[in-house]
Amino acid sequence: MKITDLKVWVTVPERSSVDGSPSGRSYVFLRIDTDEGISGFGEATSSGGGGSIVVGNMIEFLRNSTAERDFRETIIGENPEHVDLIWHKLFRRFTGGGGFGGFVTTMLSGIDIALWDIKGKAAGKPIYEILGGGPLREEIELYTHVDPGDPIKAANQAKVLAKQGFKALKTDPFMPEMRQHHRRYMQGSISPEGAELATETISAIREGVGENIEILIDCHGNFDVPTAIAMARKLEPFNIGWYEEPVQPNSNQALKHVKESVSVPICVGERLYTRWDFIPVLKDRLAEFLMPDILWTGGITEFHKIATLAESFYVPVSPHDASGPINIMAGAHTMMTIPNFYKLEFNHAQLDSHNSLIDKPLDIVDGKLKMSETPGLGIELDVEFIEAHLDEDWN
């Protein structure tokens, strides 16, 4: 079997109810075709700020490159079942000048997931049956999000989600004030009013859902060290499940300072990439939970290696999700085979949008994702819908 083509789309599925214009984030999807008629789908959605357009163009560049033109690598003509070979070939080619994560590993993730989809379809089995030693569980437990801003509304929403079967809920209670810093880190502090609103929000959620539901706190890396420590201490009385990205992920020393100063469990990983980024976090015991993103780390192949590395330190892994339905399914297939799995992130508010992109709805019941025996990923992209909802900036 040989790869014959690579197709990429950048799409915005959500539309304004007022004028029908695109609203919401862009998603990057791709399809790898073979000479045996088997195709595999992947996702390479990046963060906001135009990142998905950049990654889409990188994939298009890869498709159009040839060995004769500047000796650029191409996957056309390769055996799609040689997943590790293609992974290393592309990773070494595109990181040779430095830089081992970000857009490169996002591009690689989409390709890798599509290759695993082909591999599963060729074998007539779901990915979780051919990955590692096979499945360790029958379904995937999820956690979802509570909207911050109004403590009473947050508590009511949390109660509804708990009744729907979710055993863990995540929120960023600092976001109402810190949103302006979300994509451009400034001084890293928060006002007394912002700190008080965050505390009231978590207090209300805890009172609403009781003690048996885990509350996960996301800081989005917005704080400096003293603010991260101070806010963790304010929230400690509410039995916090984890304290995620308290500081920017590019300073392990800052993370170590926070880790040694608070009692809440630390979670990091969505902005770390390959296994090499995770080694110092594990070696120096900087976090109790790891949260890699399967679309940003290098796909199923690399994520499985990161999870296995974490297993040797007895650190649980929880896949990050801020993208589309293939991200969820690829993470779920991988976690079916990992003993140190915690829960998979899922935003219930995006379920309708996700389902519009695929051939059948995600099977989510009582806060759990039911896995099918359909070969490959278990879902197919609705290409007609995607092509009707292309990003206006995607040519």
> Among 26-35, 85-94, 312-321, where is mean pLDDT lowest?
85-94
Percent of the chain with pLDDT over 70: 93
Residue 235 has pLDDT above 90, yes or no: yes
Which pLDDT does position 263 carry in this prediction?
97
Average pLDDT rounded to a whole number, residues 246-265: 96
Which pLDDT does position 28 carry in this prediction?
97
Average pLDDT rounded to a whole number, residues 306-310: 98
Percent of the chain with pLDDT over 90: 82
Nearest CA to 217 among 182, 242, 188?
A: 242
- Using 50, 70 and 90 to split pLDDT, how confident is the model at 69? low
- Using 50, 70 and 90 to split pLDDT, how confident is the model at 75? confident
Q: Give me 293's structure tokens.
A: 């993103």
DSSP conformation letters of 322-335: -S-HHHHHHHHHHH
Q: Are strands 168-171 and 364-365 parallel, antiparallel or unpaired?
A: unpaired
Average pLDDT rounded to a whole number, residues 360-384: 97
Which pLDDT does position 63 carry in this prediction?
86
Contact 242, 265 (CB under 8 A): yes
CA angle, residues 330, 6, 269, in degrees to nearest 5: 35
Give pLDDT tens digits for 323-358. Answer: 999 999 999 999 999 999 999 999 999 999 999 999
- Using 50, 70 and 90 to split pLDDT, how confident is the model at 186? low
Which pLDDT does position 70 carry in this prediction?
52
- Using 50, 70 and 90 to split pLDDT, how confident is the model at 47? confident
Residue 238 has pLDDT above 80, yes or no: yes
Q: What is the mean pLDDT of the chain?
A: 93
Contact 162, 169 (CB under 8 A): yes
Cβ-based neighbours of 63, under 8 Å, separated by 6 or more: 5, 6, 7, 8, 74, 76
> CA–CA separation, 215 vs 369, rounded Å?
20
5 forms beta bridges with: 33
Helices (H), the chain: 51-64, 83-94, 103-123, 127-130, 151-163, 175-178, 192-209, 225-235, 252-259, 275-283, 299-311, 325-335, 351-356, 383-387
Residue 18 has pLDDT above 80, yes or no: no
Every domain of the chain and the residues it spans: 3-125+382-387, 139-370
Which pLDDT does position 173 carry in this prediction?
97
Assigned fold of 3-125+382-387: Enolase-like; domain 1 (3.30.390)
Residue with tokens 């915690």: 342
Give pLDDT tens digits for 118-156. Answer: 999 999 999 999 998 889 999 999 999 999 999 999 999
Which pLDDT does position 141 carry in this prediction?
98
> Among 59-73, 270-284, 331-345, where is mean pLDDT lowest?
59-73
Which pLDDT does position 14 carry in this prediction?
76
DSSP conformation letters of 356-393: HTBSS---EETTEEEP---SBTS--B-HHHHHTTB-TT
DSSP conformation letters of 251-268: -HHHHHHHHTT--SPEEE
> Among 79-93, 180-194, 236-250, where is mean pLDDT lowest?
180-194
Which pLDDT does position 71 carry in this prediction?
44
Q: Higher confidence at residue 263 or residue 395?
A: 263
Residue 19 has pLDDT above 80, yes or no: no
Residue 73 has pLDDT above 90, yes or no: no
Which pLDDT does position 132 carry in this prediction?
86
> CA–CA separation, 343 vs 328, rounded Å?
12
Average pLDDT rounded to a whole number, residues 36-54: 92
In this structure, the number of other CB atoms found within 10 A of the CB of residue 257 comes to 17
Q: What is the CATH number of domain 139-370?
A: 3.20.20.120
Amino acid at 277: D
Residue 185 has pLDDT above 60, yes or no: no
> CA–CA separation, 173 vs 176, rounded Å?
7
> CA–CA separation, 194 vs 190, rounded Å?
6
Average pLDDT rounded to a whole number, residues 313-322: 97
Residue 8 has pLDDT above 70, yes or no: yes
